[in-house]
């Protein structure tokens, strides 16, 4: 059984120094203001470049200090009032006090700094869509104490739950279901048996997944099923002891992309921003430009988000993914969409070599690794001698590390774009195209 953190008011960071005045001249990748006092760097939560602020050190280090904002003396012209009433407590959105245009500008500046060794002077294009109501899936924390329900997200730099009325970055459909769900859970004994709730919206509609930490009666489950039916919501249960919910094939989820239907288990990874995912995949197809002469390797392929669009255009596609269940989903999706030129292989790319893949005669590679990057596989990847590599990254630091290795092995960065997949947060997504030099 998962140990849950008691819900209580979030305590402020311990203040260990006097209030001091700072001029903020930068912004960190965590959306904290960067200032210097007597030559020492101080990161100030909530401060923006160009501001003069009063702040108090909460954590002193040998190289830098962390500080809490006490007062803004001279605000930035780009500062705005966060539209979300939960902004000050919730740990979900760290950038709402900055205008959306400046959010993207700050992310781009930080990205260019990370890529200075491999793409110095390279122009960085932008992919962006709407700033709110974009998130089609979310995990909601649940806690009940003394009969009071807390439903929301973790607080900033804390495990404590901030109970919210709604979340502005959720899709409109999920915002609606969040409100009625909170009403349903209030004074319902099921709330105390829920570890967390997963909200999901796709082309099949809205779904709720309830992860239970305690068994419930069939009568209670049936009551919830009747409620879900009236709300036009699909309901899934992850029972105590299960690693994930048991879902029949007919009850799998799906979404539309590039004229294709991609089915997946409700707990499989998919991109949470559907409009941005469509833009990202379209740009990947444009940049990599696969033809009927190309054999494309799609690494960390998931259920086929890139593999299937690539298969519509290329001679052959090989998708590689570590999770067997997602490999199985990829194969079913290929069959569902009538694509017989794509195959899926289960392999751990932190350990795999290129022996099995060499036989395909790969000409181009697309890789979309997790935050840790793909460094362990790069040497094997180079041995495949691809002409181009399209790298989709959710962490600019590991992208910079991997790109530097590829550049040192004879590749050149051709194009870079920043993708605003998570507006209102400091998260940075990047797409980079590299080409092998002759």
Q: What is the CATH number of the domain that holds 180?
A: 2.40.50.1070
| Judgement on whether residues 296 and 392 belong to the same structural domain of the protein | yes
**pLDDT the model gives residue 8:** 40
Do 362 and 417 reside in the same domain of the chain? yes
* Domain boundaries, position 309: 271-436
Both structure tokens of 227: 């409620």
Residue 350 lies in a domain: yes
Please pick, among 84, 90, 301, 394, the residue that the annotation labels catalytic. 394
The verdict on 225 and 288 lying in the same domain is: no
Q: What does the block give as tokens for 171?
A: 């899709």
Residue 417's domain is classified under what CATH number? 3.40.50.150
Q: Note whether 312 and 182 are same-domain residues.
A: no
Q: How crowded is the C-beta side of 137, counted as CA atoms within 13 Å?
A: 18
User: pTM, whole model, 2 decimals?
Assistant: 0.92
Q: Is residue 93 part of a domain?
A: no
- Among 241, 260, 279, which residue terminates a domain? 241
Q: 324: part of which helix (H) or strand (E)?
A: helix 324-336
| DSSP states along 72-108 | EEE--TTB---S-TTTTTBSS-S-TTB-HHHHHHHHH
CATH code of 69's domain: 2.40.50.140
| 69 and 180 inside one domain | no
pLDDT given for residue 6 in this prediction: 40
Rg of the chain taking only CA atoms, in angstroms: 24
Residue 220 and residue 305 in one domain: no
In terms of domains, do 388 and 310 share one? yes
pLDDT along the chain (438 residues), means of 10: 39 69 94 94 96 96 94 97 92 91 94 94 94 97 90 85 94 97 94 96 98 95 97 97 95 98 96 98 98 98 98 98 94 98 93 79 97 94 96 97 97 98 96 96
Same domain, 164 and 286: no
Does residue 252 lie within any of the structural domains? Answer: no
Same domain membership, residue 314 and residue 235: no
Number of domains in the chain: 3
Q: Assess whether 394 carries a catalytic annotation.
A: yes
């Amino acid at each position: 059984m998962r140990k849950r953190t008691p819900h209580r008011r979030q305590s402020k960071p311990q203040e260990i120094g006097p209030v001091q005045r700072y001029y903020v001249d930068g912004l960190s990748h965590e959306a904290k203001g960067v200032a210097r006092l007597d030559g020492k760097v101080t990161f100030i939560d909530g401060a923006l470049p160009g501001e003069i602020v009063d702040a108090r050190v909460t954590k002193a280090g040998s190289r830098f200090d962390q500080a809490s904002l006490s007062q803004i003396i001279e605000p930035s012209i780009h500062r705005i009032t966060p539209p979300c009433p939960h902004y000050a407590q919730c740990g979900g959105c760290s950038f709402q006090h900055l205008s959306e245009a400046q959010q993207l500008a700050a992310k781009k500046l930080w990205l260019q700094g990370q890529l200075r060794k491999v793409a110095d002077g390279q122009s960085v294009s932008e992919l962006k869509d709407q700033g709110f109501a974009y998130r089609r899936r979310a995990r909601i924390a649940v806690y009940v104490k003394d009969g009071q329900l807390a439903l929301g997200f973790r607080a900033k730099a804390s495990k404590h739950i901030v109970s919210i009325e709604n979340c502005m970055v959720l899709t409109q459909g999920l915002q609606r279901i969040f409100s009625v769900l909170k009403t349903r859970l209030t004074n319902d004994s099921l709330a105390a048996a829920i570890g967390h709730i997963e909200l999901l919206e796709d082309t099949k509609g809205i779904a709720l997944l309830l992860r239970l930490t305690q068994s419930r009666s069939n009568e209670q489950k049936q009551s919830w099923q009747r409620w879900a039916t009236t709300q036009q919501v699909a309901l899934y249960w992850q029972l105590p002891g299960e690693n994930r919910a048991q879902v029949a094939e007919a009850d799998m989820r799906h979404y539309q992309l590039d004229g294709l239907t991609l089915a997946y288990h409700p707990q499989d990874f998919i991109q949470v921003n559907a409009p941005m995912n469509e833009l990202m995949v379209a740009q990947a197809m444009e940049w990599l430009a696969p033809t009927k002469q190309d054999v494309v390797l799609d690494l960390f392929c998931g259920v086929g988000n890139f593999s299937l669009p690539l298969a519509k255009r290329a001679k052959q596609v090989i998708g590689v993914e570590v999770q067997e269940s997602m490999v199985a989903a990829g194969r079913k999706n290929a069959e569902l969409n009538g694509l017989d030129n794509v195959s899926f292989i289960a392999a751990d790319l932190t350990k795999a070599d290129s022996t099995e893949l060499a036989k395909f005669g790969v000409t181009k590679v697309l890789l979309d690794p997790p935050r840790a990057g793909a460094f362990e596989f790069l040497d094997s990847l180079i041995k495949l001698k691809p002409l181009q590599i399209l790298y989709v990254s959710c962490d600019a630091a590991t992208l910079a590390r991997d790109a530097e290795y590829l550049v040192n092995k004879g590749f050149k960065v051709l194009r870079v774009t920043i993708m605003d997949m998570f507006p209102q947060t400091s998260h940075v997504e990047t797409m980079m195209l590299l080409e092998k030099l002759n």
